[in-house]
Amino acid sequence: MLHCQQHPEIFMACLRLIFRMALFDDFNPVILDACAGTLYPLILVEQARYSALVDEIIRKQENLDVASQQRLASAFAELISFVSPGDIAMGTATTRKMRVQFKTNLYAFLSEVRGFLQLK
């Protein structure tokens, strides 16, 4: 954990890279399970930075109309909507059930947003 304290930007770099690959690049769906397994703990550990990254991604979609930007924001919110602060505080956010729920939500999220994001 000391390394993470010395280099906090590493979380943001990982989150940014994974979301860029999943949302904008030619993406092999075979690696989606691995992405889910990586994204979920990063989001849990760095919630404030995750929120900042979501805002950044939405802001950078200048070609989207307001309705599409709201649709993107809603999809991001839905991605982690099942996790409560209590789950994180109690340690139940990392149970298998929660990880599976995140993976399910990630598939739905990408299915929802990839199409209209890649039309630019």
Per-residue model confidence (pLDDT) at position 4: 58
Task: Tell me how far apart the alpha carbons of residues 44 and 40 are, in angstroms, rounded to a whole number.
Answer: 6
Each domain of the chain, given as residue ranges in start order, spans 2-117
Q: Which H helix or E strand runs over 85?
A: helix 85-90
Residue 61's Cβ-count burial label (10 Å; 0-12, 13-18, 19+) is middle
How do the pLDDT tens digits run along the chain, 120 residues long? 555 567 778 878 888 888 888 888 877 778 888 889 989 998 998 888 899 999 999 999 888 899 999 999 999 999 999 999 899 889 899 999 999 999 999 999 999 998 887 655
- The identity of residue 74, as a single letter, is S
